[in-house]
A and B are shown apart, each in its own frame.
Chain A
Amino acid sequence: MSSLLSRATVLAAAIALAAPAAAIAEGDTIVLGSAISITGKYSQEGRNARDGYDFAVKKINAAGGVKIKGKTYRLKVKYYDDESTPARTAQLLERLINQDGVKFVLGPYGSGPTKAAAPVTEKYRIPMVEAEGASRSLFTQGYRYLFAVLSTSEEYLAPVVDLAAELAEKHGKKPGDLKIAMAFENDPFSLDVREGVIEQAKKHGMKIVLDDKMPRDLSDISATLTKVKALKPDVLLFSGHTKGALTAARQMKEMNVAAPIVGITHCESADITGKFGAAAEGILCPTQWAETLKYEGKLFGSALDYDKAFRRAYPEYDEVPYQTAEASAAIVVWADALRRAQSFDTEKLRDALAATDLQTFYGPVKFNSAGRNIGKPMVLRQVQHDKYVVVAPSQFAADPVEYPRTVAQQ
């Protein structure tokens, strides 16, 4: 197989050298391509990501664009709607690369679509910087052209388990005595999150008393919550993207379900503080980014600066979800790589991306050999008095954890 591959590679390289430079920069615009969820299951998250891409592109263009070999270029993103469907993502990426001549790809939203996209960009040797596909399995396939600015999915709720163990010990209980109840959406991302939880639980010897899946449309988990009421777990975990978070928070409030520690992913994009007020108190929310973190970058300044500027440009957002921040970070990474490579050659860009070592408002970006960003950790926040407060890891914690979680009776 390897001789066939190497022969194919030589052939492909020869053709690539012989071929005229494709129209990757239309005049003075660099076109980045993205197949993303404009409609379908993840349309809301896709919207958050797109706003992040657009905001960063506008800022970079306003700040003078990207200068390559003395010429100034503006950035532009070309979007296709992948309808939140992995098969369509793959097809549309083929289209972007083959028909539209795009050489710089941004990731789709979601682990499923990203898992479908990665083989395509890998096959065509087109670098992709993705910000919305957190599945660990993306980084075990040996992809060289995939770069992810976000932390991976198993790190989402595992820190909650660790925190539970820590608090148990502090209060004189054995971590192994803790009971975990959880419900996950049946999709690649949430199941990865679940894997992470199971690993951590096993490490501490905790018992998982309830391991449910959410229904496909994520609209109703009352049956699960009924079981939770009976089982009285110490730790309650949910992951179902934005819709799942909304349903969990809403029905927990309706059915008066409580546990000393509650962890839910995607709280911010579900806006649980805005929608549920006091009922959201004490919920732990893993986040890729928080505006209160002390990160700084050249383009946007600090995390807080980014937060303020974005909300001014998009007043309909109460909270800036991390999906938006990491999307902007992806654009920043691309611009940085283009500047360092001073070229449109995809191989040079791939190497430039691999060598990224950048401080941004989103956090440090440094890719390991598999394309993962090892510079930035996941951060755990807790809803305290209608605000998200960073409580873990300890070097970032702004306030101690409120434990056990008590919700005011209505």
Chain B
Amino acid sequence: MWDSLALLGAAPILNVQLWLNGLSVGAIFALVAYGLALVWGVTSVKNLAQGDLVMMGGYLGYLLAEHGIHPLAALVPVAALMFAFGWVLYRLVIRRVIQLDLFTSLLATFGLAITIQQSLNLVFGPEVRTVQSGFGRLEMFGGMVDITEIRLIAFGLCIVLAAALVLFMKRSRIGQAIRATAQDARAARVLGVDTDRVYALAFSINAAICGAAGVLIATVWVIQPFYGIAYSVRAFVIVTAAGLGNLPGVILAALGLGVAEQYSGFVLGAQFQQATVVGLLLAILIWRQLALMRDRRVLQ
């Protein structure tokens, strides 16, 4: 560990590399986390299958790429397909667990996660896959820092998608209905909003977001049927840290997580990378609890 720190000190330009890698991946995390927050905020369902929906999107992108469709062109069709899949999932499973206690809904999505993972494994096999984007690499600072062009493009796309989502939520009727339901479902229903539809929409939009994120991950990184849980954990960390209604918070937390992961992998070693993410989750949960305890004591 000290060697790595010394290395950072000796070649500070490496910090740029870590930040670039971290931010480009963090942007994708932000998308996934936003989808999770959307479903969580509107339906109170904590979707443990989030990462697996991402992987599914990635595999759909892979399938399309095998048929000659470039990943960037595949984004829209995959999002549409995943939207439909999300709708079906909602009708079959989610709808029945929304009213139940929170752990039951968690477990239901966990069951979904296992089913999706294993189905992907059966259909596509356990090999790690990646989609070639055909773009090149940018080098800077004499080759010490580089970034693949697809990462930059993915970063840009995430920003565009996030902006589009925010606009949609703020301006469109459906977006308003969703936000109203999230604030107070009963009041929304009284005012004539079809909350069941809204829940379905929220879940399906989330699935679509995951699908798009999945395609990007397939090109920037790799996909494998069982890699989904890593993204689920990350999304949970981000949403727990940022809080539900807080989109800027989600983005910041996501970018921060991306960079933190890179640094922990660099300084502590790759075997601690996953432990760092999980450790952060625990730390945030505990910090929350301490803050709540403080409040409770004040009330007492």
Contact = CB atoms under 8 A, between A and B. Distances in A.
Contacts, number: 92
A188 B221 CA distance: 27
B240 interface: no
B271 A222 contact: no
A231 B3 CA distance: 11
Contacts of B169: none
Contact of A44 (B3, B127, B273): B127
B262 A217 contact: no
B238 to A, nearest CB: 18
A373 to B, nearest CB: 29
A106 interface: no
Contacts of B232: none
Contact of B137 (A230, A250, A256): A256
Contacts of B274: 215-217
B126 A215 contact: no
A220 B221 contact: yes
Contact of B14 (A221, A226, A247, A256): A226
B159 interface: no
A213 B128 contact: no
A217 B227 contact: yes
Given A219-B221, A220-B221, A243-B128, A212 B14 contact: no
Interface in A65-109: none
A264 interface: no
Given A39-B126, A226-B14, A220 B144 contact: no
Given A230-B11, A256-B139, A215 B144 contact: no
A226 B270 contact: no
A183 B144 contact: no
Interface string A160-185: 00000000000000000000000100
A256 B270 contact: no
B146 interface: yes
Contact of B269 (A209, A213, A217, A247): A213
Interface in A181-211: 183, 186, 209-210
Contact of B128 (A183, A216, A224, A246): A246
A43 B265 contact: no
A226 B125 contact: no
Interface string B120-140: 010001111010000011010
Given A39-B121, A44-B126, A215 B270 contact: yes
Given A44-B126, A219-B221, A223-B18, A256 B271 contact: no
Interface string B193-233: 00000000000000000000000000001101011001000
B270 A213 contact: yes
B4 interface: yes
Given A222-B21, A410-B137, A230 B14 contact: yes
Contacts of B227: 217, 219
Contacts of A224: 265, 270
A311 interface: no
Nearest to B17: A226
Nearest to A40: B126
Nearest to B262: A223
Contacts of B183: none
A255 B146 contact: yes
Given A230-B14, A256-B139, A215 B265 contact: yes
Nearest to B220: A254
B128 A219 contact: yes
Nearest to A43: B126
Interface string A227-251: 1011100000000001100110010
A212 B18 contact: no
Interface of B: 3-4, 7, 10-11, 14, 17-18, 21, 118, 121, 125-128, 130, 136-137, 139, 143-144, 146, 148, 221-222, 224, 226-227, 230, 262, 265-266, 269-271, 273-274
16 contacts: A44-B127, A212-B270, A213-B270, A214-B270, A217-B224, A223-B262, A223-B273, A224-B265, A227-B4, A227-B266, A230-B7, A230-B11, A231-B7, A243-B128, A254-B137, A256-B143
Top 10 nearest A-B pairs (CB, nearest first) are A223-B265, A213-B271, A43-B126, A223-B266, A215-B270, A230-B11, A215-B273, A226-B17, A44-B126, A186-B271
Given A226-B21, A231-B7, 10 more contacts: A43-B125, A44-B125, A214-B271, A220-B273, A224-B265, A229-B17, A229-B143, A229-B144, A230-B11, A243-B128
